[in-house]
Structure 1
Amino acid sequence: MTMEGQMARPPTIAGRARREGLIFGECLFDHFPDGDRVGGAPLNVARHLWALGQQPLLVSRVGQDGEGARIRDLLHTWGMDARGLQEDPQYPTGSVEVLPDAVLGHQFLILPRQAYDRIAWPAQLPALSRIAFLYHGTLALREPGSRGTWERLTGQSDWRFVDLNLRAPWWTSDLLATVLPGTRVLKLNADELGTLAQAFSLQGGGRQSRVADLAQRFAIGEVVITHGAEGAVAWAGGLWQECPAPVVRVEDSVGAGDAFAAVWMVGILHGWPVDLRLIRAQALAAAICTVRGALPSDSAFYAPFLRDWGLHP
């Protein structure tokens, strides 16, 4: 499908005629020095989407272990559809060691041979059904098992949101060259843009020229770049828009980008213009920074956003 075809048929709330969407990728536990927290960008994004009134199917895989059971229990507690959460009889639930870093904020030690490396085709999805949208990153595509499932899902999706989330050493330029073409929305941070510029010899030394080259080369509809406390910028239709980050007391920045991604997708589904998506995505991302961990413990956290944005859980 061409970029023009992707951009011409965005799904809308009023005209939803198929499964709303699918979130594909890792569910895991982040092991911080002060304790464990459930995580994985796909799980975080799915949680935010459900809290904001959407009902995508989360397709992931956990081990037949205590941590996998904890994730399944959390999905039920949040009122989410857990039928897409598979169990693996051999590989454990995903695990990441998160280490504080004075420069990078956090460093991630990601283990191999995890359950999310073997995500199978979701039994809930008929072989010929269409998927309104597909969200995914790159980590769960590192092994052939999950990557093969992703390739089939991509072929049945109206549009894709790619949340790059590059984690060394679990990506290659060849993988990115497979993932990027035809993406409706590509979300990345400033460092990842530099990585792509080097990997694909993007033209120009400035951010705008690099993004324009990237979007043209891979037929990408929108590129969103997050800069933490400096805010975010979006390239869409050849135009740039910027939005500063709200000033908040930062407790923990983990998961802010996942909140941003979820709101961006909600905005597409509801037909919000790019400038409004930037403002609202930054608002939820900033709010996540005021709590400990990537996800709020109380669903009441979302109430002001639901009210102010006219959404219904």
Structure 2
Amino acid sequence: MNPAPPHPELVTLGEVMGVAAATTPGPLATGAALRLGWAGAEATVAVGVSRLGRSAAWTGRVGEDAMGAMVLAGLRAEGVDVSGARTDPAAPTGLMLRERRTADRLRVTYYRAGLAGSRLAPEDLDEARMAGARILHVTGITPALSPTARAAVEHAVAVARAAGVIVSFDVNHRERLWSRAEAAEVLARLLPYADIVFAGPEEAALFVPADEPERMARALTGLGPAQAVLKLGADGALAVADGALHVQPAVRVTAVDPVGAGDAFVSGYLAAVLDGSPVPERLRLAALCGAFAVSVPGDWEGLPRSAELGLLAAQDISR
């Protein structure tokens, strides 16, 4: 058995909330059954990387409450280092209420404004840990939560960039949190720090003119990142890396729950980066992880372990 690295290979920071999810379709009503869990974009990436055999750490704030304890215990159980996480006595852990209003329509309500996750601040970060990592992963969700969370992300990418750490940035725009104009202004400041940027076409259009995906990816690399990866849903994905185009079809599966698919995709890509794999293999692993995620209810529960990849690796590829 190889000894654990002195620093986690991937470090990420952000918000994790408790999740109360309806177990059956229909409107919420007295006596409805709910499944308790937790979710967060950056934490999902950390779990995915950990399940694929690489080391990962998550930094953020949770409340000094039962929900916060559940979140930290859950991340530890997945092998994610949470020694840099902070429990906040002044604010409770946020909550996501997920209602399956019909068999194929989700309705989500968030309780997060001013709560523990949004109170992340630059002083919560371990600069030595970030500087010693191989990858720092951030998303566009955290900067939208509060001015202090925004400052934490901007400080993290500056520290990582100065230390020569690969900076991974998933745009992950959330219209409920802020307008496209505000998101474009703030997130454009992160692009020059990023080595790898992930986006869907609508997210990429925050920064570059709407066009066909390859041209948008190439335009993104013109803003700083060496690699631009466009997530295209059922149409798969493509990457422009060091000027070369790589295309990855989607893996055919029966979709059960689309939540978390993008973060699962990112976790596979970054795990392959840590493995030293070339870009086509990064995209292939990313597509497999996304397929596993949509095949299972929940944000991160369906993420594969390395030994399970063969279950879908031989699946037909949609073209």
Q: TM-score, normalised by structure 1?
A: 0.80
Aligned to 2:157: 154
Instruction: Write out aligned runs for 1:215-294 (5 A).
Output: 215-216=221-222, 218-294=223-299
The reply on whether 1:52 has 2:41 as its aligned counterpart is no
2:265 and 2:130 map into 1 onto residues whose CA distance is 31
Q: Which moved more, 1:131-140 or 1:32-41?
A: 32-41
Q: 1:209 aligns with which of 204, 207, 215?
A: 215
1:127 and 1:48 map into 2 onto residues whose CA distance is 20
Amino acid aligned to 2:70: R
Aligned to 2:172: 165
Aligned to 2:188: 177
Amino acid aligned to 1:134: L
Distance 1:49 1:205, change over 3 A: closer
Aligned to 1:190: 201
Aligned to 2:82: 82
Amino acid aligned to 1:181: P
2:88 and 2:107 map into 1 onto residues whose CA distance is 27
The sequence identity of aligned pairs, in percent, is 25
Asked if 2 retains the 8 angstrom alpha-carbon contact of 1:131 and 1:156, the reply is no
2:95 and 2:255 map into 1 onto residues whose CA distance is 25
Q: Give the 3-state SS of the residue equivalent to 2:193 in structure 1.
A: coil
Aligned to 2:113: 112
1:129 and 1:280 map into 2 onto residues whose CA distance is 26
1:182 and 1:214 map into 2 onto residues whose CA distance is 12
Q: Which has the higher contact order (CA 8 A, sep 6+)?
A: 1
Q: 1:305 aligns with which of 278, 296, 309?
A: 309
2:264 and 2:285 map into 1 onto residues whose CA distance is 10
1:94 and 1:223 map into 2 onto residues whose CA distance is 32
Aligned to 1:4: none
1:205 and 1:90 map into 2 onto residues whose CA distance is 46
Q: Give the 3-state SS of the residue equivalent to 1:178 in structure 2.
A: coil
2:101 and 2:125 map into 1 onto residues whose CA distance is 41
Distance 1:306 1:28, change over 3 A: farther
Deviation of 1:233 after TM superposition, in Å, equals 1.2
2:217 and 2:6 map into 1 onto residues whose CA distance is 34
CA RMSD between the two structures: 3.0
Structure 1 residues without counterparts, runs of 5 or longer: 1-12
Q: Give the 3-state SS of the residue equivalent to 1:156 in structure 2.
A: helix
1:226 and 1:290 map into 2 onto residues whose CA distance is 17
Structure 2 residues without counterparts, runs of 5 or longer: 24-33, 314-319
Amino acid aligned to 1:253: P
Asked if 1 retains the 8 angstrom alpha-carbon contact of 2:201 and 2:210, the reply is no
Distance 1:164 1:106, change over 3 A: farther
The reply on whether 1:140 has 2:142 as its aligned counterpart is yes
1:170 and 1:181 map into 2 onto residues whose CA distance is 23
